């Protein structure tokens, strides 16, 4: 199943410097889904070390922490009711696919409700934020380039619904 | 919603040469999921032009045909009961996420049953094939590098269950 365990203090930030320690593995593997929205031995981590700009977000790195050579990483994020990600922008693109519950996404100055398997492309340098104003967990895949810039957090402002 | 319509005769093959015509758009957009497992205005295409090595496979390109600058493409494939993809290998990696029904995947010389949200990483140059020996459609996301080599089809052999 690959050595996809990461210490939470090693990669607490969504962005990782190139010096981040990686397993040398690059092997094919199957990561089994479990009903509690975890996968195989992949650890659920905290979203970011800095706690000012976000609330109630976790992250599971499915592809990208086990030495995979692919040019992209696949992560599962989950936002609890009333939680929100950072209001941020960056040069790298995001692809988001909702797989649990529903949530809202701010893209630029517009906010959209998103539900099951809705797929979102966020182009470079667009301010965005994901929020969960609903009563169930809001879970989504987020795919990013393996080489990417560090997000810029716009403010501590919370985009409430 | 972006100009994500592609003529089926323009991209009938899973691999596209670098001369493939692309829309110049690179805009953020939301692609809405529909209950029939289609998304927004994305067209369902045939899997490959060459018909010898596969059966009953369709493809929807969700991210990668609308001028997106991301270093990866996101596609949804669906294999009808008794269908199968090519038995092939290539240098580029595959990430597969099952989202509809169940299927089987051959990786090297081992075959695995995969179900809902199971996630598979196929490393470079590993022979693989996806098959659907079940009675319902088998649908999955497949994420690949945007720049990738052309698959090599091993033979016309069908990996039956």
ipTM of the complex: 0.84
Q: Quote the distance between the C-alpha of residue B92 and its chain's center.
A: 13
pLDDT at A161 over 80: no
- Which pLDDT score, from 0 to 100, does residue A4 have? 36
Average pLDDT of the residues in A9-15: 37
Sign of the torsion angle spanned by Cα atoms A131, B143, A124, B68: negative
Q: Do B120 and A29 touch (CB under 8 A)?
A: yes
In sequence order, the 6+-apart residues with CB closer than 8 A to the CB of A75 are A59, A60, A61, A62, A64, A141, A142, A143, A144
The dotted CATH code for A52-148 is 2.60.120.10
CA B1 → CA B15, B24, B31, distances in Å?
24, 14, 7
DSSP 8-state class, residue A44: P
Average pLDDT over chain B reads 86
B144 strand-pairing partners: B73
Provide, as residue numbers in chain A, all residues whose Cβ is less than 8 Å from the Cβ of B74. 95, 97, 119, 143
Tokens linked to A155: 């403010």
- Which pLDDT score, from 0 to 100, does residue B156 have? 56
Q: Which of B79, B130, B142, B159 is catalytic?
A: B142
Does the CB of A95 have a partner CB in chain B at under 8 Å?
Answer: yes
Q: What is the pLDDT of residues A30-87, one digit of tens each?
A: 999 999 999 999 999 988 777 778 999 999 999 999 999 999 999 999 999 999 999 9
Sign of the torsion angle spanned by Cα atoms B3, B9, B10, B13: positive
Nearest CA in chain B to A112: B30
Q: What is the pLDDT of residues B79-136, one digit of tens each?
A: 999 999 999 999 999 999 999 999 999 999 999 999 999 999 999 999 999 999 999 9
Count of CA atoms in the C-beta half-sphere (13 A) of B58: 15
CA B134 → CA A34, B108, B137, B158, distances in Å?
21, 22, 8, 15
Separation of alpha carbons B151 and B139, rounded Å: 21
Mutation choice for B interface testing from A38, A68, A121, A140 by most B CBs within 10 A: A121
In terms of pLDDT, which residue wins out, B116 or A4? B116
- Which pLDDT score, from 0 to 100, does residue B51 have? 77
In terms of pLDDT, which residue wins out, A22 or B138? B138
Separation of alpha carbons A5 and A33, rounded Å: 16
Q: Are A155 and A110 spatial neighbours (Cβ–Cβ below 8 Å)?
A: no
Q: What is the pLDDT of residues A111-154, one digit of tens each?
A: 999 999 999 999 999 999 999 999 999 999 999 999 999 999 98
Superfamily of domain B54-153: Jelly Rolls (2.60.120.10)
Residue A140's nearest CA partner among A111, A117, A113 is A117
Q: Determine what percent of chain B is predicted with pLDDT higher than 70.
A: 81
Which of A3-17, A67-81, B44-58 bottoms out in mean pLDDT, i.e. has the lowest?
A3-17
Separation of alpha carbons A45 and A32, rounded Å: 18
**End-to-end distance of chain B based on CA atoms, in angstroms?**
40
- Which pLDDT score, from 0 to 100, does residue B3 have? 36
Average pLDDT of the residues in B149-155: 89
Separation of alpha carbons A37 and B99, rounded Å: 14
Separation of alpha carbons A152 and A89, rounded Å: 5
Separation of alpha carbons B124 and B53, rounded Å: 20
Q: Do B121 and A39 touch (CB under 8 A)?
A: no
Q: Do B121 and A145 touch (CB under 8 A)?
A: no
Specify whether B98 is catalytic. no
Average pLDDT over chain A reads 86
- Which pLDDT score, from 0 to 100, does residue B48 have? 79
Average pLDDT of the residues in A85-90: 95
- Which pLDDT score, from 0 to 100, does residue A89 have? 95
């Amino acid at each position: 199943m690959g050595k996809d365990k990461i210490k939470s203090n090693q990669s607490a930030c969504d962005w990782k410097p190139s010096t981040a320690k990686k397993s040398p593995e690059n092997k094919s593997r199957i990561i089994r889904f479990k009903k509690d929205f975890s996968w195989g031995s992949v650890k659920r981590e905290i979203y970011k070390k800095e706690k000012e700009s976000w609330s109630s977000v976790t992250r599971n790195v499915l592809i990208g922490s086990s030495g995979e050579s692919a040019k992209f990483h696949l992560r599962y994020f989950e936002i609890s009711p009333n939680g929100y990600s950072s209001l941020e922008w960056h040069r790298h693109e995001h692809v988001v696919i909702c797989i649990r519950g529903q949530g809202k996404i701010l893209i630029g100055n517009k906010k959209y409700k998103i539900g099951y398997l809705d797929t979102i492309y966020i182009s470079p340098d667009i301010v965005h934020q994901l929020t969960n104003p609903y009563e169930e967990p809001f879970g989504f895949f987020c795919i990013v380039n393996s080489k990417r810039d560090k997000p810029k957090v716009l403010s501590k402002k919370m985009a409430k619904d």
